[in-house]
Copies of this chain bind each other. A is one copy, B any other.
Amino acid sequence: MSACNISFIGAGNVAEALSLRFITAGHRVLSVASRGGSSAAALAASTGAEWRRDMSVADDCDILILAVTDTSVSEVASAITVPDHTIIVHTAGSVPLSALQRTSRAGVLYPLQTFTKGFIPDISKVPFFVEATDETTLEVLKSLGNQLGSGAYECDSERRRYLHVAAVFTNNFSNFMMTAGETIASGAGFDSEIMRPLIEETARKALRAGPSAAQTGPAVRHDSGTIKSHLELLSFSPEYQKLYRLISGMITRFYKKSGR
């Protein structure tokens, strides 16, 4: 696709990762604005863009991306001043397209990935889920998603919500299980770093054959003796016990149903 002039509102992790990727793909970042202020100044400087202190964009802006937290999309959409020809896009998984309050030239470009300060993911491996108010805008967003990431998939607001909750399990919750593992190990006097090779292998197996084929442990092999002994050991935390019991039960039932 031809080069676009892109502006950002929001200068957090998503804006940072996307803006850098837009530049390497040959687009131009016109301006960056944020309510916080200083993070926008820094991102504007690193992308060669103008730092805007208000919610406006230049007349030649093709696409304005609202890369703000899910809870702010709607409020920011009400506050912006944008030419009619400019496409307005948000990047949030759980927010409907309607939050942009526009009946044309509005869309969603949702990158299915986790973004944290200091960890810029490889956007070229990220699948983008797109939705738009009209066919022309949809085609623009599809082209962008295909160009920036591993692909662009049409997905309406309702299905995108499922994707977002799925991502919470895949990333947020699995990550917290690893934190729990390290907390238990360090509580018993071990350096928490000793768990790292296990984290690496967990991902390697899940990536190779899918997580459901990679499942191991006492719950999947119905080892009730070990489960009981673990629950005793976790008596220092009723919360860990509850979590252990719930997940073990779910694992057992999942593999009973699927016949393993």
Contacts and interface: CB of A to CB of B under 8 A. Distances in A.
Interface string A234-248: 100001001110110
B125 A197 contact: yes
A112 B166 contact: no
A185 to B, nearest CB: 4
Contact of A113 (B165, B197, B246): B197
B169 A201 contact: no
Nearest to A232: B161
Nearest to A70: B226
Q: What is the count of identical protomers in the complex?
A: 2
B202 A203 contact: yes
Interface residues of A, number: 92
B153 A166 contact: no
Nearest to A205: B119
Contacts of A229: 94, 161
A149 to B, nearest CB: 9
A223 B72 CA distance: 11
Interface stretch (A47-55, A57-65, A135-143, A188-196): A188-196
8 contacts: A94-B226, A159-B190, A162-B187, A162-B190, A163-B190, A171-B201, A176-B254, A202-B203
Given A116-B205, A172-B216, 10 more contacts: A71-B223, A119-B201, A153-B190, A166-B195, A167-B195, A171-B216, A172-B217, A173-B177, A177-B177, A178-B206
